[in-house]
Structure 1
Amino acid sequence: MDKTLWEKALAFSFDNPNDEYGFSTRLALENHWTLYFTQSAILEYKKFLFLAATNNEMVSPSEIVDIVWHQHLIFTNSYSDFCSLFGKRIEHIPSTHNKSEFEKFQIAKERTTTLYELNFGAQPAEVWNYNNEFDSLQLEKSKFDVKKLRKNFFKYTLIASIPVYLIIYSLLIKIQNPYFIIGYLLLYVAVFLVLKYYVRNKFSSLYAELESNAIVKNLTAFELVYFRDNSLDAVIHGVMNKLIERNKVKILGNNRLELIDESLGYNPYENCVIEVMKEFDPMPYKQLCWNVRQKPIFEQLQKATYRIKDRIIASKPFTNVMIVAMISLGTLLTIGLSRLFSGFWRDKPIVFLVIALVPLVFITLYYLNQLLNLIFTDIIPSSTKEKVLSRGESQRDWEWDYFLYGTAVLSTAFIPLINYASPSSLSSGDYFSFSSSDSSSSCGSSCGSSGSSCGSSCGSSCGSSCGGCGGD
């Protein structure tokens, strides 16, 4: 292995510090990747091109590496400079899907694995073994759509109440009030408490199976803040507070903020806010939050975390827990509704039963909404907190402190602006849904602000059809 050449390749940066929509941000945003996985994919791409440059036979990328390669080809100046570092142009050779080529490309893939292991050790599975990095979570997809089940929960409960009413009618008319209402409320509380224990236990077990995965294990502090608060504004509050602490931003009257130091630093989130504030006169914090939310680096964070949510929520283990919760609470509600029907049919007083049932319905619906986010707003952050705290203060920066302590670390002068700023347009129960096609890079995307010419065209999306590259 040419260690000197590899060190040069490793040190090569695909990003300019001041780019708002540079290579890494664009790659992460277009594919809805986390920051860790984006950097991991770029590293593996560098390793792949190093193997291509230092061997005379064809090597072949993985699906993930090929996405990075396609992106880099669009940044033509950067790609040319990277190839110049190796001393030769590395050409992209797409497959034509001809059967005669299959064996050639299969041999190239096997050769790539062998060369990689000789030079770098074992290949990271999430980059090399899967077309979609979240397949590495090994979560079986459920055949049920839990979000649709939750949306139609009350409708299904009302429908189920009819057969339940017919089945237990003879029993219902034997139990007199107030014994039924008292017993029913006690039963609901008991089932609810048992269900809460069951759900938390199951979700904790599910996370325990996922936390060793490299993507989950390497979530950033801001990605975890977004999980916990389910709001992009919560991330912006942390960034803005740090700028105020560093005397780069000053709080004015009327909930306005003024940029007093335009110098950029190492933190891309802070730099993004500074660049936004440069474009405007002192503005209300509410308006500033809205402008910042539209920027690629914050949009990327939102989309990456939503994609993780969607994958876990769509899994069989998660859906099974939700179904148990919906069946348990739905059964309780059908009993109450059946009693209501029987009382109405027999012309009995039902006022107290209605008073008891209405809040139970709302509590049930609210709780089911909370369950959709419980693993993300509570279990993952709580478990991560314990690990972060065990590292000690010397191992943490301000982002991790903000994740750990939340609003407790915010300046008292800044708190009123947070209360003034409108909440994110997303409620605590909302999240985006991305199809599998969203996670693939599009060759036809425009160059945006890449600052390079788009003279080369991908021609077609490689996907699994990308053969690789030749040697010389």
Structure 2
Amino acid sequence: MDIQLWNQIENFDLDKPNDQYGFSTRLAFENSWTFYFTKTAILEYKKFMYLAATSNEMVSPSEIVDIVWHQHLIFTNSYSDLCTILAKRIEHIPSTHNKAEHEKFHKAKEVTKKLYELNFGKQPEEIWTFGNPMHSLQLDNANYNLGILKIIFLGAFILLSFPISLLLKPVLIQIDNPYFAWYYIFLFGLITFLLMQFVKKTCDSLIEKIKSKLIISNLTPLELVFFQKNNLDYVIHGVVNNLIENRRIQVTGNKLNLIDDTLTNNQYENCVIEIMKEYDLIPYLQLHQLIINKPIFQQLKKGVEKIRETILDSKQFLFIIKVTLVVFGLLLNIGFSRIITGVSRGKAITNIVIITIILAAISYRYYKKVVNYLFFHTIHSSFKEGKSNTNVEQDWQWNYFLYGGLTASFMPLVMPANNNFLSSNSNSGCGSSGGSSCGSSCGSSCGSSCGGCGGD
């Protein structure tokens, strides 16, 4: 291995300093990748380019590496600079998908794997095996989503209410009031308790299955904040709050004042600082709106949303929801059956109607808890255990994710921001700073896949 050449390639920076929509951010944004996955994909691309430059045989990238390659080709000056370091112009050769080409590129992939292992060790499967990062989670995609499942359940609940009441009637007429009410409440409480134990165990098992995957295990603390809350507001609150705590921003009445414009080693903080340089005093609501549309924050949102959607639409997660809906549906049908039986027999039903309504409200509350349990509880506790032996107090991002908390002077400004921008996460696009760079790229110019490369 040519150590000197590899060090030059590895240290080659594809991003320009303080570029808000540079190579990495654009690559992550357009492909809905997380920060670490993007960083890893770029590193693997550099390894591939090293192999292309030093090998006399044809080498071929993975689908993920090819995406990075396509992106880099757009940045013509940067690509030329890299080829200068390689002392070789690496040409992109698209596949024509005919049989002869297929065999040639298949051989090139085998050569690439052999050379890679010889120089760098085992190829990370998330980059070299799977064409889509989400496939590395190895979750089965369900035939329908959570919204459709709720509609199916509601329809089944309505259609089956009367048949179930007829089925239960012989049993229900044997139980007098007020014993039925007490039995019913006790049964509801017991089954709900057992259900939550099932949910906890199943969620733990699901997270244990996917946590070791690269895109999950390397989520940044701020990505985990969004992963948990599904709201970009909390990420923004945390970033601004840390700048206040470090005395870079001062709270003046209901406005913020930048008192130290020195950039930090945190790209999100630097984005906020660059915005605030243009203002003497700025209300947090206005600052919040400017921040949330910036590409770097939108990229975080898109990358993590993709993971959430993959989990929420998986058979493994929807199985938990199915069990929850069936259990609460059957429990509530007992109450409805009692009401129908009482009406048919001319009995007083006021108490059981009230009890059933209360239990229905409780059921809905627990259903919402089950839907969010994986993200609010399982994810949090899982990463908290992993960080139990580290000094997280010195890392504000981990401290914010694990323990939360905002400064007292900042809290009054956050509350109206939450109310006014609750739906701000629905915003999409690259933001005003993206400019025309958010337009089309050469992604489709070489077809859906790439064959390999050659050199001059």
Q: Is the 8 A contact 1:344 1:350 kept in 2?
A: yes
1:45 corresponds to 2:45 = yes
1:453–1:203 Cα change, 3 Å: closer
Q: In the superposition, relative to structure 1, how do residues 20 and 337 fare at CA in structure 2: closer, same or farther (>3 Å)?
A: same
Residue 205 of structure 1: aligned partner: 205
Secondary structure of 1:468's partner? strand
Q: Distance in 1 between matches of 2:362 and 2:54?
A: 64
Give 2:351's aligned amino acid. Answer: F
Q: Secondary structure at the residue paired with 1:93?
A: strand
Residue 72, structure 1, aligned to residue 72, structure 2? yes
For residues 345-382 of structure 1, the C-alpha deviation after alignment (integer angstroms, 9 at most, x for no partner) is 33322221221111222222222222222111111111
Distance 1:280 1:27, change over 3 A: same
Contact 2:195 / 2:324 at 8 angstroms: preserved in 1? yes
Q: Secondary structure at the match of 2:141?
A: coil
Is the counterpart of residue 325 in structure 1 residue 310 in structure 2?
no
Structure 1 gap ranges (5+): 435-446
Tell me if the contact between 2:161 and 2:337 (Cα under 8 Å) persists in the aligned partners. yes
- Note if 1:418 corresponds to 2:402: no
Among the aligned pairs, what percent are the same residue? Answer: 50
Contact 2:36 2:218 (8 Å CA) reproduced: yes
Q: 2:445 aligns with which of 447, 454, 460?
A: 460
Match in the other structure for 1:234: 234
CA distance in 2, matches of 1:188, 1:118: 62
What is the CA–CA distance in structure 2 between the aligned matches of 1:458 and 1:142, rounded to whole Å?
Answer: 29
Q: After TM superposition, give the deviation of residue 261 of structure 1 in Å.
A: 2.8
The 1:215/1:457 distance shift into structure 2, 3 A limit, reads closer
Q: Deviations over 1:239-271 (max 9, x none)?
A: 111211232212111x21122333322211001
Which deviates more, 152-161 or 164-173? 152-161
Hey, what does 2:99 align to over in structure 1? Answer: 99
Q: Residue type of the partner of 2:42?
A: I
Corresponding residue pairs, total: 452
CA contact (8 A) 1:60 1:109 kept: yes
Structure 2 equivalent of residue 159 of structure 1: 159
When residues 423 and 70 of structure 1 are mapped into structure 2, their CA distance, relative to the original with a 3 A threshold, is: farther
Distance 1:420 1:453 in 2: 34
Mapped contact 2:105–2:452 kept (Cα < 8 A)? yes
* Partner SS for 1:141: coil
Residue 437 (structure 1) aligns with? none
Match of 1:294 in 2: 293
Looking at structure 1, the residues matched to 438 and 295 of structure 2 have their Cα atoms a distance apart, in angstroms, of 18
SS of 1:122's equivalent? coil
Q: How does 1:102-141 map to 2 (within 5 A)?
A: 102-141=102-141
Q: Match of 1:288, SS?
A: helix
- Partner deviation per Cα, 1:199-220 (whole Å, 9 max, x = no partner): 1011111111222212211111
8 Å contact from structure 1 (residues 56, 470) kept in 2: no
Pairwise mapping of residues 363-442 of structure 1 onto structure 2 (< 5 A)? 363-393=362-392, 396-407=394-405, 410-423=406-419, 425=421
Hey, what's the Cα distance between the residues in 1 that align with 2:181 and 2:77? 75
Q: Which residue of 2 aligns with 1:218?
A: 218
Q: Which amino acid aligns with 1:206?
A: L
1:470 aligns with 2:445: no
User: SS in structure 2 opposite 1:470?
Assistant: strand
SS in 1 for 2:174: coil
CA distance in 2: counterparts of 1:146 and 1:451, whole angstroms: 35
CA contact under 8 A between 1:60 and 1:112: conserved in structure 2?
yes
Indicate conservation of the 8 Å contact 2:312/2:318, yes or no: yes
> CA–CA distance in 1 between the matches of 2:237 and 2:354?
41
Relative to structure 1, is the Cα distance of residues 136 and 42 closer, same or farther in structure 2, using a 3 angstrom cutoff?
same
Superposition TM-score, scaled by structure 1 size: 0.89
Instruction: Decide whether the 8 Å contact of 2:71 with 2:443 is kept in 1.
Output: no
- What are the superposed Cα offsets for residues 366-419 of structure 1, whole Å, 9 maximum, x if unpaired? 22222222111111111111211212358x522112222210xx3222222223
Kindly provide the amino acid, as one letter, of the partner of residue 115 in structure 1. L
Deviation at 1:425, TM superposition (A): 4.9
Change beyond 3 A, Cα 1:416–1:431:
closer
Q: 1:7 to 1:248 in 2, by over 3 A?
A: same
Structure 2 residues without counterparts, runs of 5 or longer: none
Amino acid at match of 2:269: E
Deviation at 1:106, TM superposition (A): 0.6
Aligned ranges 1:17-28 → 2 under 5 Å:
17-28=17-28
- CA-to-aligned-CA distance 1:414-457 (integer Å, 9 cap, x gap): 22222332247557xx998x9xxxxxxxxxxxx95598999x95
Name the CA shift for 1:451/1:54 in 2 (closer, same or farther; >3 Å).
farther
**Alpha-carbon deviation of 1:99?**
1.8
Maintained 8 Å contact 2:70/2:442:
no
Aligned-partner Cα distance in 1 for 2:49–2:29? 23
The alignment partner of 1:176 has SS state of coil
Counterpart residue number, 1:443: none
CA distance, structure 2, for counterparts of residue 313 and residue 276 of structure 1: 35
The residue aligned with 1:10 is: 10
Q: Which residue of 1 aligns with 2:357?
A: 358
Q: Which residue type is aligned with residue 453 of structure 2?
A: C
Aligned residue for 1:92, secondary structure, equals: strand
Contact preservation (8 Å) 1:75, 1:452? no
Q: Secondary structure at the match of 1:265?
A: coil
CA separation of 1:79/1:451 partners in 2, compared to 1, >3 Å: closer, same or farther? farther
Indicate the SS of the match to 2:250. Answer: strand
Aligned to 1:441: none
